[in-house]
């Protein structure tokens, strides 16, 4: 099978090399128990590949979390994602024909050590059933970066459970926004974090340059993945800081962002709790390709008053998509 563009279930992909799945998002290599793994601490990171000649495949994860077993999700030919614990590795396919597969790092516990300890997902291999083959595929749709906190990550989007059981990236607003726009989501969301508050990973500015304390973005495959649009939803966790402090942090973060991704439109979604809304409006007005999406009055539903549930995240994501379309950005 030669390299080409192919369309599966209305989605276009670039066909890559055999036995080389495409890792989209914040993945890095790490040796665990003497074996090379592809690792991520970011819910929403994805893997894309095409299967042929098999009716199932196995994902061999090594469990490195300490609090609760994480979930992955899989989507076959663009179908709705199905969640599965990483300890249940087998995924069934409808038949042995060609199928485009997307694997999503769907849910880990918010409080795992993601910055220094690099706790998250660790994938050792993907093995098709006997007689099967797989090729990497890369989505050709525009790539949208979503910077945010636990709301972007999908914490408590499934239930009130504070661990992986209650969390899901495919029940968070970036997933629904991307589906509505027909784009590919790139998650950079970490619980309890902000522009000032470090949280369970670090600040947004650190997340621009690092996948963990010892893995710079520029030394990973993620360095070659550039956004067509950037969406920010930060500020909820910085609500306890003074407006002057948030102003300094936002100015520095935006300066770094625009230097790193010159010419890329940036959309700042006001926090649902309206934290620092006036500061965000004022500073974003200084950038020619900077936009603000107002959220006051949105009929978002929540699990706990802060985190949208799945239905609320769908409303939020589709509202953001509508605003982006009306701005003519995609």
* Domains present along the chain, CATH in parentheses: 5-139 (2.60.120.260), 143-327 (3.40.50.1110)
Q: Is the pLDDT of residue 285 over 90?
A: yes
What pLDDT digit, counting tens, does each position of 75-86 carry? 999 999 999 999
Question: Tell me, what DSSP letter sits at residue 42?
Answer: -
pLDDT at residue number 3:
63
59 beta partners? 126
Q: Is the pLDDT of residue 166 over 60?
A: yes
- What is the per-residue DSSP string for 74-87? EEETTPPPEEEETT
Token pair in block for residue 143: 């790539």
Mapped onto helix, strand or coil, the DSSP state of residue 219 is: helix
Going by C-alpha positions, the residue among 220, 219, 21 that lies closest to residue 128 is 21
Going by C-alpha positions, the residue among 177, 125, 180 that lies closest to residue 154 is 177
Mean pLDDT of 73-101: 97
With 0.85 as the threshold, say if the pTM is over it: yes
SS (H, E, C) 156-191: CCCCCCCCHHHCCHHHCHHHHHHHHHCCEEEEEECC
What pLDDT digit, counting tens, does each position of 204-263 carry? 999 999 999 999 999 998 999 999 999 999 999 999 999 999 999 999 999 999 999 999
Q: Is the pLDDT of residue 1 over 80?
A: no
179: left (phi over 0), alpha (psi -120 to 50) or beta: alpha
Placement of tokens 């706990």 in the chain: 304
pLDDT at residue number 9:
87
Q: Measuring CA to CA, how many Å separate 207 from each of 157, 210, 241, 314?
A: 22, 5, 20, 25
């Amino acid at each position: 099978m030669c390299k080409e563009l192919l369309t599966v279930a209305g989605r276009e992909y670039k066909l890559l090399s055999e036995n080389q799945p495409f890792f989209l998002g914040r993945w890095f290599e790490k040796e665990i128990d003497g074996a090379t793994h592809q690792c991520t601490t970011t819910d929403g990171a994805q893997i894309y590949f095409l299967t042929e000649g098999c009716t199932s495949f196995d994902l061999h994860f090594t469990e490195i979390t300490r609090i609760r077993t994480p979930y992955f999700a899989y989507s076959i030919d663009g179908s709705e994602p199905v969640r599965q614990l990483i300890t249940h590795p087998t995924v069934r396919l409808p038949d042995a024909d060609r199928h485009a597969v997307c694997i999503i790092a769907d849910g880990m516990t918010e409080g795992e050590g993601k910055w220094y300890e690099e706790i998250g997902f660790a994938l050792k291999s993907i093995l098709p059933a006997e007689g099967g083959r797989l090729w990497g595929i890369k989505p050709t749709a525009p790539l949208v970066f979503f910077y945010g906190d636990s709301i972007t990550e999908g914490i408590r989007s499934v239930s009130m459970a504070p661990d992986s059981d209650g969390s899901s990236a495919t029940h968070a607003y970036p997933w629904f926004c991307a589906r509505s726009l027909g784009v590919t989501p790139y998650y950079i969301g970490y619980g309890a974090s902000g522009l000032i508050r470090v949280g369970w990973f670090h600040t947004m500015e650190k997340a621009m340059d690092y996948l963990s304390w010892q893995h710079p973005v520029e030394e990973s495959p993620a360095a070659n993945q550039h956004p067509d649009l950037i969406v920010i939803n930060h500020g909820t966790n910085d609500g306890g800081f003074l407006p002057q402090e948030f102003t300094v942090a936002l100015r520095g973060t935006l300066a770094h962002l625009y230097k790193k991704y010159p010419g890329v439109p940036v959309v700042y979604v006001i926090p649902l709790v309206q934290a620092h809304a006036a500061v965000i409006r004022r500073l974003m007005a200084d950038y020619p390709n900077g936009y603000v999406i107002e959220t006051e009055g949105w009929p978002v539903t929540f699990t706990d008053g802060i985190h949208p549930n799945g239905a609320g995240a769908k409303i939020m994501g589709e509202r953001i998509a509508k605003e982006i379309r009306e701005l003519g950005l995609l």
